[in-house]
Amino acid sequence: MKKSSLNKGTLYASLKDYPLNTEDVPLKEYPRPNLRRASYLTLNGAWDYLITTEEWVPTAFEKKIIVPYAVESVLSGVNHLLEPNEKIVYHKKVTIPLGFNRGRILLHFDGVDQEATVLINGKKIGYHLGGYTKFTIELANDLPSTFDLTVIVRDVSDTSYHSRGKQTLNTTGWFYTTSSGIYKPVWLESVPKDYVQDVRFYPDFDSKSVDFIVGSNVDTKAKVTILDKTYEVNTNTLSRVVLNKFYPWSPDNPYLYQVKIELNDDIDSSYFGVRKFEIKESNGVKYTYLNNQRIFLTGLLDQGYYFLGNLTPRSYQDYENDIDNAKSLGFNCLRVHIKTENDYFYYYADTKGMLLIQDFPNGGTKNSFFYTIFPRISTSFGTEKHLTYKRESRLDKEGRDEFEKEAKEYLNWFNNYPSIIIYTIFNEGWGEFDPSRIYHELKNIEHYRLFDTASGWYDADSDFYSIHTYSIPGKDRKDKQRRPFIISEAGGTSLKIDGHSFFKGFFGHGKVKDKKKLTRRYQDLYQKKLLPLIKKNGLNMIIYTELCDCEIEYNGLYTFDRKVLKLDADLIRNINESLKKEVNA
């Protein structure tokens, strides 16, 4: 059995530097900002655990793990690379407070990677497959007030076809340490017998109105209050409200309409923002528009990995800081790169006015290096007709079906966040299959956002002509469909900063030894290569790689611990301002 890549010395940090605190309850805030209710009990904090290759379920435990941090992370207190033949068994004794039960008790798991079996008092009550989607289990009415909660987790990571994003068992280059087990909040809430299951908003900018559906377990009446005016509506039915005061949502003024929902004894709060993001043609060229104003998207690739926590931040303040840092530098967009975040990340983007591109986590068996990289080199080998299930590691129908099922779950989950303007279905050639078909099926469901079907190459039907340009910027493909032109990845020059380089190895799309050379590379990229493309080619977007260093990838504007900005802040702001001015010139 291999040892964790962290224990092999890849990470310059150890459990000795960050001792386990079993009293700590991280990420304990109410975890679902878009549908809040008063009932809440966090199950984050110390759990018992055992890692084993045996099939039996243990009843005795000697060690503790801090939830919700992946077992591989230092913050979990374990720092163990979970192998495909292993499972981690979590155990916690849960006591329901007196008066908590209002009729139904719901057990929420916001993220367990990859395969979870849930037991109460030794009896199986639920199962879920997929590390990037949520699941909820309703507990039995006759459950005793104190019970044993056990969660058995397996994670085969990149040895199968399941969605995995950038996680790998063998950290290298742009693939990072796995985040196995419970890595997002676990929590309980209690609801009445009849309750609100979800609410979905569909704002219409042009008509200054909002359509919405109050989802419930019963067909009944609900009261919805917006701007202090209350409307009685039918549950599970589309309703429309014309907004008597119209406040558009935008990065400069991210106004959110606060909503109160009442269904008998169930009282919930939510919000929505009204904005319109679309494509329009001007003088034969297609551009992106926000609220009828042309907008240039200048953004950063956001891997969403955190120092010592892997895919999980130490606190939600880390989310807020990342968004504030990017916005303070003049960026108006982040590309959430092939992962999903906790809901608080999207909430902060909504409240602070940061536009988001949300990638769908990729799956498939091990990628073929040749067929993944070759389209970057050859301009004649980068369209859908060159794709096959074999070439892109998608021979398993179960894996293809799983990806499409999860994609539809993402559409429902992210529906209410006005900050999300674009979905990326596939990144480069990673597990890509049937892209045009999937684009049209998802587009038929989702009218509120645009889709980048295949970011980088293996082009297919899409709302954008999307390329990645790193070491070979001259290999721009020609777009026969005349779609809006975006550069969804660029840059990537790496610089290590002494005292803030926590991983051995050194990867990037070009390396420099000091800030002066990094500055020259950054200026040349934007001012000489990219800025002219706005007028010449109708460029609409630049996503720079990347916000922060990530493990051995040292190409962030910030270091992995977010403590050092590698370039002068005014330089970055001035370049971003010049991009926006070029659009309006």
pLDDT tens digits, one per residue of 206-236: 999 999 999 999 999 999 999 999 999 999 9
Q: Which pairing describes strands 87-95 and 45-52: parallel, antiparallel, or unpaired?
A: antiparallel
Confidence of residue 336 (pLDDT cuts 50, 70, 90): very high
Confidence of residue 11 (pLDDT cuts 50, 70, 90): low
Confidence of residue 559 (pLDDT cuts 50, 70, 90): very high
Confidence of residue 25 (pLDDT cuts 50, 70, 90): very high
Confidence of residue 14 (pLDDT cuts 50, 70, 90): low
Mean pLDDT of the 495-500 span: 92
What per-residue confidence (pLDDT) applies to 12?
A: 57
What per-residue confidence (pLDDT) applies to 374?
A: 72
Q: What percent of the chain has pLDDT over 90?
A: 80
pLDDT at 328 over 50: yes
Residue 368 vs residue 309, higher pLDDT: 309
pTM to 2 decimals?
A: 0.95
Specify burial of residue 54 (Cβ count, 10 A radius: 0-12, 13-18, 19+): exposed
Confidence of residue 171 (pLDDT cuts 50, 70, 90): confident
Residue range 469-492, pLDDT digits in tens: 886 554 456 787 889 999 999 999
What per-residue confidence (pLDDT) applies to 472?
A: 53
Residue range 257-287, pLDDT digits in tens: 999 999 999 999 999 999 999 999 998 899 9
Pairwise CA distance, residues 434 & 398, whole Å: 15
Mean pLDDT of the 445-463 span: 92
pLDDT at 8 over 50: no
Specify burial of residue 84 (Cβ count, 10 A radius: 0-12, 13-18, 19+): middle
What per-residue confidence (pLDDT) applies to 33?
A: 97
Pairwise CA distance, residues 89 & 111, whole Å: 16
Confidence of residue 1 (pLDDT cuts 50, 70, 90): very low
User: Which residues are CB-contacts of 27 (< 8 A; sequence separation ≥ 6)?
Assistant: 44, 68, 185, 312, 313, 315, 316, 342
pLDDT at 184 over 50: yes
What per-residue confidence (pLDDT) applies to 57?
A: 87
pLDDT at 9 over 60: no
What per-residue confidence (pLDDT) applies to 3?
A: 42
Mean pLDDT of the 140-166 span: 95
User: Which residues are CB-contacts of 397 (< 8 A; sequence separation ≥ 6)?
Assistant: none
Q: Name the 3-class secondary structure at 366.
A: coil
What per-residue confidence (pLDDT) applies to 377?
A: 66
> Taking Cα atoms as reference points, which of 482, 480, 574, 478 lies closest to residue 522?
574
pLDDT at 373 over 90: no
Which stretch, 78-82, 265-269, 426-430, 446-450, has highest mean pLDDT?
A: 265-269
Q: Identify the H or E element spanning 187.
A: strand 186-191
pLDDT at 381 over 80: no
Confidence of residue 170 (pLDDT cuts 50, 70, 90): confident
Which residue, chain included where needed, has tokens 């591989």? 72
Confidence of residue 7 (pLDDT cuts 50, 70, 90): very low
Mean pLDDT of the 146-157 span: 96
